[in-house]
Structure 1
């Protein structure tokens, strides 16, 4: 609604720099560019660094984030894109599946700001993507930054919880044994 104000959390502060990956689907380039501008400004305002990769569409954004998490060292992720309602139900599939996949990644411990716009028309997207207006790209980056701050507060991610790496030696009933030669 026009004129309605929203509360915004204070920008988090970090004792060591954060590194984020921005994954953007530039299907609507003008919308993506505005969102990128807002996201980059928000990350830089916290003293963070960022890299940006492009993927074909909103459905590929969560997959790229999953790959990056397994194969790189980012503290968090910013998902950017825009889905505009069309004449078919494809809109519903893309909106629901991209959002659900991002949420599942988040529940696994990834710090993700979801900035995939789901709108009725290009005009709505333009207002939401404009860094001088609703700045949803900046908002997605802020969400990721706040989650990173929480993860650091609570000790960071714990990959492999409950599992110990194999070692050359192991203990059986108080005895140290060497590697098996069987």
Structure 2
């Protein structure tokens, strides 16, 4: 039985969004295609972006963590490509870069993970190409949807429960300070 893929409708915003695209350009032609897809998706929502490059996929989560602490981005797009080689280094890079991005996401960062993990260049090209699988756009769309959820759910926080009137509050304070009162 064949299945069909479903994509959510494009996220929309009342106020502009700003994303940081963090790319590991080890395979420059693949990275450029991923960037093109991500940029087109961000621009389609009226968003803005900056692009920064890091040496490899393992550095992508670190760069995102630094940017979150020191800058003012609404979300992040992680881009790169890891192609299986002859050693187990592939497994380490795939697992650790993904784990780093996931941990940042669980802390509340809005990240779309577009780091390709593939067996060969042919698979990478099919996934990166904006006219084919367009995984760069998919990663940007994921970040944008998370930003939309954050804005939807991120309203002003208010306390739960009731606020005692001043007399009750003073009485409670007196009882705590002097239990025999």
Query: Could you say which TM-score interval applies, normalised by the shorter chain?
Result: 0.7 to 0.9
| Contact 1:38 1:137 (8 Å CA) reproduced | yes
* Alpha-carbon offset, residue 77 of structure 1: 0.0
| Contact 1:31 1:129 (8 Å CA) reproduced | yes
CA RMSD of aligned residues (A): 1.7
Tell me if 1:87 matches 2:86.
yes
* Alpha-carbon offset, residue 5 of structure 1: 3.6
Distance of aligned partners of 1:156 and 1:128 in 2 relative to their CA distance in 1, 3 Å threshold = farther
* Alpha-carbon offset, residue 4 of structure 1: 6.2
Tell me if 1:120 matches 2:119.
yes
Match of 1:52 in 2: 51
| Contact 1:109 1:157 (8 Å CA) reproduced | no
Aligned to 2:46, the other structure's residue is in SS state coil
Matches within 5 A, 1:35-114: 35-114=34-113
Aligned to 2:57, the other structure's residue is in SS state coil
Match of 1:22 in 2: 21
Match of 2:135 in 1: 136
Gap runs ≥5 in structure 1 = 159-172, 175-182
TM-score, normalization: structure 1? 0.84
| Contact 1:39 1:137 (8 Å CA) reproduced | yes
- TM superposition outliers: structure 1 runs of 4+ over 2 Å: none
Q: Judge which range, 4-13 or 36-45, deviates more.
A: 4-13
Gap runs ≥5 in structure 2 = 158-172, 175-181
Q: Distance in 2 between matches of 1:129 and 1:56?
A: 19
Total equivalences in the alignment: 158
Any idea what the Cα deviations from partners look like across 1:136-159, whole Å, max 9, x if unmatched?
00000000000000000001699x
TM-score, normalization: structure 2? 0.84
Distance of aligned partners of 1:141 and 1:156 in 2 relative to their CA distance in 1, 3 Å threshold = farther
Q: Distance in 2 between matches of 1:42 and 1:117?
A: 18
Aligned to 1:74, the other structure's residue is in SS state coil
Match of 2:10 in 1: 11
| Contact 1:151 1:157 (8 Å CA) reproduced | no
* Alpha-carbon offset, residue 6 of structure 1: 1.1
